[in-house]
């Protein structure tokens, strides 16, 4: 699939490659250590993506305990492509065990998480800032107001959601439109030939409300890659 063909994300004016570069395995910290890549191992992956015309790069503060953002920031600076890439990061997961406000979707954590991400990425803004996971607690109005304030402050360009119920995304988008605040332009969800649940509600909701869908784990956690083989005695290996 060509990477130098670009598509509008949702109903925004933001143009992105059909395939994004996920960087969850850039770095060797946290629970990703078993399959993480060092800076030197990540560099050719990043450069090949750019050379093929890709411009949509995805990370999160939680990936490899923050190393993914640090490595990505270094690679972007080396290649001098900050203005070219559409840089996406996410917040929600706790990065400081024991601190009750160091995780979740509340305003205090959202702002702290973004400031920390900007520092690790070596930039003063991100193009797309996503709520990583629904925390089941924070009022959606609080999330929307904080997104709007961060856009007005120039620290993020666009806002979006990841791994939320369809009703939550619909509520967020409807409230944002009703109050003329920052809309959601992206909804990131698991989708593959073995994970198609989003087709029931999320897809028609996104089409109706103008949310661009991006898929994570398109190979079903490796299941569709062919690396697993069926053993008649022991099952999958």
Q: Are 46 and 83 in contact (CB under 8 A)?
A: no
| Three-class DSSP category at 190 | strand
Residue 49 annotated as catalytic: no
* Helix, coil or strand: residue 184: strand
User: Please, which residues have CB within 8 angstroms of residue 7's CB and are 6 or more apart in sequence?
Assistant: 15, 16, 17, 18
The strand pair at 235-236 and 230-231 is best described as antiparallel
Query: Alpha-carbon distance 96 to 94, whole Å?
Result: 6
Q: Which of 63, 125, 158, 191 is flagged as catalytic?
A: 63
Contact predicate 122/71, CB 8 Å: no
> 115-120 — which CB contacts under 8 Å span 24+ positions?
116/61, 116/66, 117/61, 117/69, 117/89, 117/91, 118/155, 120/61, 120/66, 120/69, 120/70, 120/73
C-beta atoms surrounding 100 within 10 Å: 11
CB 53, CB 6: distance < 8 Å: no
Distance CA 104, CA 111 (A): 11
Residues with catalytic function: 63
């Amino acid at each position: 699939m060509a990477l130098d063909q670009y598509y509008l994300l949702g109903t925004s004016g933001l143009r992105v490659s059909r395939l994004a570069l996920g960087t969850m395995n850039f770095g060797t910290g946290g629970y990703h250590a078993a399959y993480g890549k060092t800076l030197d191992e990540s560099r050719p992956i990043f450069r090949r993506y750019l050379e093929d015309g890709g411009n949509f790069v995805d990370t999160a503060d939680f990936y490899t305990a923050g190393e993914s953002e640090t490595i990505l920031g270094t690679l972007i600076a080396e290649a001098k492509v900050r203005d070219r890439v559409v840089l996406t990061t996410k917040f929600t997961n706790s990065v400081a065990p024991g601190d009750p406000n160091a995780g979740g979707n509340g305003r205090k954590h959202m702002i702290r998480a973004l400031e920390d991400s900007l520092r690790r990425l070596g930039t003063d803004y991100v193009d797309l800032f996503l709520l990583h996971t629904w925390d089941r607690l924070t009022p959606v109005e609080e999330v929307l107001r904080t997104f709007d304030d961060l856009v007005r402050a120039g620290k993020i360009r666009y806002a979006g959601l990841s791994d939320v119920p369809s009703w939550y995304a619909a509520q967020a988008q409807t409230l944002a439109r009703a109050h003329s605040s920052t809309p959601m332009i992206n909804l990131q969800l698991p989708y593959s030939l073995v994970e198609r649940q989003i087709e029931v509600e999320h897809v028609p909701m996104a089409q109706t409300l103008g949310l661009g869908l991006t898929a994570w784990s398109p190979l079903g956690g490796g299941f569709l890659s062919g690396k697993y083989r069926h053993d008649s005695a022991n099952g999958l290996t």
